[in-house]
Amino acid sequence: MRDDDFYEDADPWHWRLAIRAVATPADTNFYGDIFGGWLLSQADIAGGTVAIQAAQGRVATVAVNEFRFLSRVLVGDLVDLYARLERVGTTSMTIGVRAWARREFDPGSREQVAQATISYVAIGEDGQPRALDVPPRSQPSES
């Protein structure tokens, strides 16, 4: 992906910066590497921000359909997670998430470290799934 592939607008179908986090020593496993579960949880939070916006309310994660680790995350990396709406059903939606690291030792660098596809369901006040009313895609999507 290129920088101009991402949009900073309100359309959930467009890629947007959903969360930015710094990988810290507290996020490491016993070998000193960033724990994969930390990155997965950041991806779920990022996807959830887009899902909440699209659902206009509460959502719950129902499945991590795919999660691929593409490169290591190092302590001190600034991790940018971008997300967008990919599919919408009656009560559920699928969100694509891409994670990129800017290396502490080279702040101008940018390397994709993970990608995910996560499904969420809209939840009503009664705690049960509720119907979605999501605006149609405003422009063709590219992966």
| Pairwise CA distance, residues 4 & 2, whole Å | 5
DSSP for 62-115, please give it.
Answer: EEEEEEEE-S---TT-EEEEEEEEEEE-SSEEEEEEEEEEEETTEEEEEEEEEE
| Pairwise CA distance, residues 85 & 13, whole Å | 5
Output the CA torsion sign for 119, 140, 84, 72: positive
Kindly tell me if the per-residue pLDDT of 137 is higher than 70.
yes
pLDDT tens profile 22-81: 999 999 988 888 999 999 999 999 999 999 999 999 999 999 999 999 999 999 999 999
Confidence of residue 8 (pLDDT cuts 50, 70, 90): low
pLDDT tens profile 82-121: 999 999 999 999 999 999 999 988 878 899 999 999 999 9
Tell me how crowded residue 65 is: count the other CB atoms within 10 A of its CB.
Answer: 12
Give the pLDDT score at 32. 85
pTM, two decimals, is 0.87
